Amino acid sequence: MPKLDPAKPLSRSVPELARHHLDAAIEQLDEQRNGIETAVHQARKHLKRVRALIRLVEHTHPRHFKPIRRALSEAARGLSEVRDATALIECADSLRPYLEARNAGDMAQPLKEAVERRRDLLALEAPSLARLTDPVIEACRKAASDVDGAAFGHREDAPVVLAEGRSRNHQKARATLEVCHHGGHPEAFHDLRKCAQATVFQAGFLAEAWPFAMAAEAAEAKTLTDILGHEHDLEVLNILLHAEPHLFGAIADRDRLAELIMERRAALRHDAMAVAGRLYPEGAKREAKRFAALWQLAAAKK
């Protein structure tokens, strides 16, 4: 995975890294070698990496970078329905062991068949592939041009800029974690997941400065994103259960399934809070100073 190079100025390394992932997203959507669902999934991951990269430097020129990040977010949202329908099938599969452990294993296969039927119906109603992918490809090309035109200050500012970007994500995660501790709305857990995803990608971008620590941080953050990703998919499944009950059989079965989904979500949230507490402890400012010094040292060694 490409990384930021401490020996290069941010005005060169950030656009290079952004263009790598934007070009990869375009290639996925253009070629679709393994089908549209895989292409969409991979393209969305590349766009998330670019948004995480922009968040690292956004504080330097918010008026320039925020519109780029928001445009990419909006573009990715246009692809979400293709991915979300498949994600619900994966969610049904992953819920099966829990249902079996709760003596409700007979619900697992009908549940999977229901979300598969829904995916197939959505596929029939979906707009043409070009209508889905062309706006995203155009947004990627524009973002690459806009990042190329950004100013990043002096080369020696890079350690402080990157440390501040990491610190801001950490602080946002801490604030979101506090909301979650006080019975936060599902959106708060979704925001915590976005912070954790940014941490995964940013740790990868910055690995040259602090390889072992960044690898450990990325692994912990990936654990958190996986837990909260499953919790979010269960939330979507629960909403669908109430919005389209005809898909899910008898009323008694639906009620029991909804109850088990809520129980599973509560357990996942509990696990997520424990991981997030370790990943985002107090003391972000001290850690930022340490990171800035290590980035500066890595640049001096090049």
Supply 84's token pair: 């979300």
Work out the pLDDT band at 302, boundaries 50, 70, 90: low
Residue 14 lies in a domain: yes
Tokens 């269960």 belong to residue: 234
Does residue 280 fall inside a structural domain? yes
Using a pLDDT cut of 90, give the percent of the chain over it.
Answer: 66
The mean pLDDT value for 172-182 works out to: 93
Report how far Cα 125 is from the mean position of its chain's Cα atoms: 27
Q: Tokens in use for 47?
A: 């766009």
**pLDDT reported for residue 167:** 94
CA end-to-end span of the chain: 19
pLDDT score recorded for residue 47: 97
Cβ count near 56 (within 10 Å) = 25
In this structure, are residues 140 and 46 in contact, taking their beta carbons and an 8 Å threshold?
Answer: no
CA distance 57 to 47: 16
Say whether 302 sits in a helix, a strand or coil: coil
In a domain, 1, yes or no: no
**CA pair distance 85, 115, nearest whole angstrom:** 7
**pLDDT by residue (tens digit) across 216-248?**
999 999 999 999 999 999 999 999 998 988 888
2 within a domain of the structure (yes/no): no
When pLDDT is averaged across residues 61-76 and rounded to a whole number, the result is 94
> Considering only 145-154, 177-186, 237-246, 256-265, which range has the smallest mean pLDDT?
145-154
Q: Identify the CATH number of the domain in which residue 183 sits.
A: 1.40.20
- Residues 6 or more apart from 234 whose CB is under 8 A from it? 91, 95, 261, 264, 265, 268
Measured CA to CA, the distance from residue 10 to residue 61 in angstroms comes to: 13
Provide the token pair at 9: 């100025």
- Residue 131 structure tokens: 């209508």
Dist CA 38 CA 45 (whole Å):
11
Nearest to 272 by CA among 225, 238, 233: 225
Could you tell me the pLDDT band of residue 193, with boundaries at 50, 70 and 90?
very high
Confirm whether 263 is domain-assigned: yes
| Domain-embedded: residue 276 | yes
Say if 140 falls within a structural domain.
Answer: yes
What is the average per-residue pLDDT within 273-298? Answer: 89
* pTM reported for the whole predicted model: 0.92
CA distance 117 to 113: 6
Residue pair 177/273 in contact (Cβ under 8 Å)? The answer is: yes
Measured distance CA(204)–CA(199) in Å, rounded: 8
Find the radius of gyration of the CA atoms of the chain.
21
- Asked whether residue 161 is assigned to any structural domain, the reply reads yes
Q: Which of 76-85, 122-131, 251-260 has the lowest mean pLDDT?
A: 122-131
Number of domains in the chain: 1
Q: Which amino acid is at 212?
A: F
* Averaged pLDDT, 252-281: 94
Q: Which domain holds residue 79?
A: 10-301
Average pLDDT, the chain: 90
Question: Residue-wise over 214-232: b if at least 16 C-beta within 10 A, else e?
Answer: beebbebbebbbebbbbbb
| pLDDT at residue 152, rounded to an integer | 74
pLDDT at 155 over 70: no
